[in-house]
Amino acid sequence: MPDTTLPVFLAESVPASGRTVLDGEEARHAATVRRLRVGERLILSDGAGGLARCVVDAVQPGRDALLTLTIEERWTEEPPALRVVVAQALAKGDRGELAVELATEAGADAIVPWRAARSVAKWDDGGRGDKALARWRTTARAAAKQARRAHVPDVTEPVGTRELAGLAATMSLVIVLESDVPDRLTDLTLPDAGDILLVVGPEGGITDDELHTLREAGARAVRLGTTVLRTSTAAAVALGALGALTTRWQ
């Protein structure tokens, strides 16, 4: 069993054995913030299931920080047989990033930014949209490290409702979270494997046209409980329920 107390750092690749180096921002964080020293250990992750326990052989601090590592044990964690892709409506301020952080910690396997009709944030094409997407991706990486996940969820390019419906048509099950529908999440028959698309609307809710389009693509609208959740927390709560109701947490 790998040591769950060791800090996790991301690298482009994790060799099978021998020596390797950690550089860039991850090395600066290891040397300056965590103050790792020679002889201490860390977990190196490629964000795609590859992990290794390493011992620090040398530390070069500063702007060009570099850690030289020896790999002691290398292993691979497979993704779950039942994956959950979260389509998260764009949200104003930092609520979108909070949604990504919580969904990543709760186990989202991929996150699709959705340009919903009632989203206040628009992410127009160009520099502002690129920066917003970069923040979501950075948030997912940081949250995956914090949660000690072997897989960093992919944050895709933003999509509109028609593109989302096209994605929905490829899924094993599509769940739209709605607070004012009779069906509950626990009423659904959940698959053991495949992909679930979990759609979370904006603060103003999903429009009738959007819901109709998604239902035409096979979506089921369900509620989680008797209360109304914010767009920033809904995915995490649903992911927890799906973890308990399926084999994802086994």
pLDDT in tens, 38-66: 999 999 999 999 999 999 999 999 889 99
User: What's the pLDDT at 2?
Assistant: 57
157 and 203 share one domain? yes
Last residue of a domain, one of 76, 98, 125: 76
200 and 221 share one domain? yes
Domain presence at residue 54: yes
pLDDT in tens, 94-149: 999 999 999 999 999 999 999 999 998 888 777 888 999 999 999 999 999 999 99
Q: How many domains does the chain have?
A: 2
Last residue of a domain, one of 48, 76, 104: 76
**Spatial distance between the Cα atoms of 32 and 36, rounded to a whole number of angstroms:** 8
User: What's the pLDDT at 84?
Assistant: 98
Last residue of a domain, one of 61, 76, 91: 76
pLDDT in tens, 207-227: 999 999 999 999 999 999 888
Average pLDDT, the chain: 94
126 and 225 share one domain? yes
198 Cβ contact partners less than 8 Å away, ≥ 6 residues apart: 84, 85, 86, 87, 108, 175, 177, 235, 238, 239, 242
The CATH number assigned to the domain holding 21 equals 2.40.240.20
Nearest to 107 by CA among 170, 40, 41, 153: 153
Mean pLDDT score, 181-204: 95
Question: Considering the entire predicted model, what is its pTM?
Answer: 0.92
